[in-house]
Structure 1
Amino acid sequence: MSLGLEPPQLLKQCLFYAGRKFDFEVNRLRLPNQVEGQWECIRHPGGAMAVPITPEGQLVLVRQYRFAVQGRLLEFPAGTIEVDEEPFTTIQREIEEETGYSAKEWINLGKFPLAPGYSDEFIFAFLASDLEKLDIAPEQDDDEDIEVVLMTPDEFEKAVLDGEGIDAKSIAGYFMAKPFLSKLAG
Structure 2
Amino acid sequence: MSTEKELPIYLQQNLFYRGRKFNFDVNKLRLPNGVEGNWECIRHPGGALAVPITKEGQLVLVKQYRFAVEKRILEFPAGTLEVNEEADLTIKREIQEETGYEAKKWDYLGKFPLAPGYSDEYIYAFLAQELEKSEKPPEQDDDEDIEVFLMSFEEFEKAILSGKIIDGKTIASFFMAKLFLDKN
| TM-score tier after normalising by the smaller chain length | over 0.9
Normalising by structure 2, we get a TM-score of 0.93
Determine if contact 2:12/2:27 at 8 Å carries over to the other structure: yes
CA distance in 2, matches of 1:107, 1:6: 36
The answer for the alignment partner of 1:56 in structure 2 is: 56
The answer for the alignment partner of 1:83 in structure 2 is: 83
| Runs of 5+ unmatched residues, structure 2 | none
The answer for the alignment partner of 2:167 in structure 1 is: 167
Determine if contact 1:72/1:165 at 8 Å carries over to the other structure: no
The answer for the alignment partner of 1:9 in structure 2 is: 9
Q: Secondary structure at the match of 1:53?
A: strand
2:96 alignment partner AA: E
Normalising by structure 1, we get a TM-score of 0.92
The answer for the alignment partner of 2:134 in structure 1 is: 134
Instruction: State yes or no: 1:143 paired with 2:143.
Output: yes
The answer for the alignment partner of 2:39 in structure 1 is: 39
1:50 alignment partner AA: A
CA distance in 2, matches of 1:29, 1:66: 33
The answer for the alignment partner of 2:19 in structure 1 is: 19
| Runs of 5+ unmatched residues, structure 1 | none
Determine if contact 2:45/2:82 at 8 Å carries over to the other structure: yes
Q: Secondary structure at the match of 2:131?
A: strand
Percent identity between the two aligned chains? 71
Instruction: State yes or no: 1:118 paired with 2:118.
Output: yes
Report deviation, 1:6.
6.1
1:128 alignment partner AA: A
Determine if contact 2:109/2:180 at 8 Å carries over to the other structure: no
Determine if contact 1:104/1:129 at 8 Å carries over to the other structure: yes
Aligned residues: 181
Q: Secondary structure at the match of 1:116?
A: coil
CA distance in 2, matches of 1:104, 1:93: 13
Farther off after superposition, 151-160 or 31-40? 31-40
Which deviations, in whole Å up to 9, do the C-alpha atoms of 1:128-183 show, x marking residues without a partner? 00111113321110110100000001101100000114310000000000034468
The alpha-carbon distance between structure 1 residues 160 and 114, as it changes in their structure 2 partners (threshold 3 A), is same
Q: Secondary structure at the match of 1:120?
A: coil
Farther off after superposition, 27-36 or 165-174? 27-36
Q: Secondary structure at the match of 1:143?
A: coil
1:176 alignment partner AA: M
